[in-house]
Structure 1
Amino acid sequence: MFIRNESFGEFLRKYKVVSALIFINLVLYMWTDWFGFLGGDEIYWLGIGNNVYVAFGEYWRLVTPIFLHAGLMHVAFNSFSLFLFGPALERMLGRGTFLMVYLGTGIFANVVYYFLGDPRAWHLGASGAVYGLFGIYLYMVLVRKDLINSQNAQLITVIIVIGVIMTFINPNINIIAHIFGLIAGALLAPLTLSKVTRESYYQNVHDQDDVGFDPDRWKKRERFRQAKWVYIAGGFGLMVLFFYVVDLIFF
């Protein structure tokens, strides 16, 4: 569920919404952080969230902060989370429903922050929407156990627990957005997963070379999957290093 076996081209074709969201995140980050003199500064300050401006009618600021980020590690973490945890949900829910959930949980988190957050604070980032996806997985772990195997359930549980803990430990984190994004995802899960069954989901995601879905194939490929994690972590590290070096050299 969380291991990517596709080539880059196959990933783009199979997961169009996830690919588009990652692309938007990276392009807007580079534009606003590296090319501010080409209009990026205006885009940044026009889109960043602020409760005072929302109160004066700039309601788009409940949406646009989802696509803006404050730094390299911020955009890298959210984009990588989308890369790992978005594809399974996009295939499971369908592209339209997945996009609705992603944007809906992100907007809900910003709306709650409007009522409960500091009106003087500026806020931005896709974390509320990403935690919305985590909320759906949390519902699967607790209720829809038929949609997730025990290994993936353990993995996502650990990630959610660590994420919540880090939310309260790290400075400059929008705690309200994280927690209420997670809650929003869990609340939407019963509706969005109501027609999804294990058979219908895995029928869509099994490898084309397989005769059919083998429920034990994860155990048979355990070594391969462990190696994949090494490649994924290494690729992510290289991506972060690349952006960091470019940021140092040119900007």
Structure 2
Amino acid sequence: MFVRTESFGQFLKLYPVISTIIAIQLLIFLMMHTPIFPHNWILELLAGVNLLIQKGEYWRLVTPIFVHVGFAHLLFNSFSLVLFGPALEKALGKFTFIILYLASGLGANIATLYIHPPYYTHIGASGAIFGLFGVYLAVLFVKKDAIPLQGRQVILPIAIISVVMTFFQPDINITGHIFGLISGFIIGRILLFYRSIRF
């Protein structure tokens, strides 16, 4: 379930939403690290800055989901998306997966807006990634048999470890991680009320 055996071409064809998200993240990262586009200009335009959001720049509730300054940050979030996203994109469908991903990131960023001070700045896809974990946990709680045993043995420890590590890593938006997880869990419960989800 979480083991990728597809070729690069097969992955692009089977999971176009995930492929597009990673491409957008990579494009923004490259733009930030080329002389053509000044690094600070891209960051200042797209980063989530609470004060600017309060002043009406509401796009900053969404754009931080796709922005990564460090390559390690980009690589980790993209790798997590490649591992844990495909099963959900396949089970939910492209449109629902897009809504899940953006809504989880949005939930994380709205919580960050209200909990953190005005000058707090945040970037990264972690809230949206944690939203994926939240959906898996919702399925585990409601109908665990919908997830194969091997998948259950992987996702629950990973989700727990990820939450615990959130509190021990420096410069982490703890609020974003936790509320991304909560947003995904709520979305998962809503989806399960209207439809069955099977992996």
Shared fold per TM-score greater than 0.5: yes
Aligned residue for 1:208? none
Q: How does 1:158-197 map to 2 (within 5 A)?
A: 158-193=157-192, 194-197=194-197
In structure 1, C-alpha distance between the alignment counterparts of 2:22 and 2:80, rounded to whole Å: 10
Deviation at residue 39 of structure 1 after TM alignment: 4.5
Cα pair distance change 1:54/1:141, threshold 3 Å: same
Identity of aligned residues (%): 47
Aligned residue for 2:104? 105
Q: Per-residue displacement from partner, 1:55-89 (whole Å, max 9, x unpaired)?
A: 11111110110000131111111100110011100
3-state SS in 1 of match to 2:167: helix
Cα pair distance change 1:65/1:94, threshold 3 Å: same
Aligned residue for 1:13? 13
In structure 1, C-alpha distance between the alignment counterparts of 2:83 and 2:191, rounded to whole Å: 20
Deviation at residue 164 of structure 1 after TM alignment: 0.7
In structure 2, C-alpha distance between the alignment counterparts of 1:166 and 1:87, rounded to whole Å: 24
In structure 2, C-alpha distance between the alignment counterparts of 1:154 and 1:142, rounded to whole Å: 14
Deviation at residue 41 of structure 1 after TM alignment: 3.2
Kindly indicate whether the alpha-carbon contact (under 8 Å) linking 1:97 and 1:192 is maintained by their aligned counterparts in 2: no
Q: Per-residue displacement from partner, 1:111-158 (whole Å, max 9, x unpaired)?
A: 111111122221000000000001001112222212112221121111
In structure 1, C-alpha distance between the alignment counterparts of 2:148 and 2:155, rounded to whole Å: 11
Aligned residue for 1:45? 44
What is the root-mean-square deviation of aligned Cα atoms in Å? 1.3
The AA in structure 2 aligned to 1:91 is K
TM-score, reference length from structure 1: 0.76
Kindly indicate whether the alpha-carbon contact (under 8 Å) linking 1:93 and 1:192 is maintained by their aligned counterparts in 2: no
Q: Provide structure 2 residue ranges, at least 5 long, that are not aligned to the other structure.
A: none
Q: Stretches of 4+ moved more than 3 A in 1?
A: none
Q: Higher relative contact order at CA 8 Å, sep ≥6: structure 1 or structure 2?
A: 2
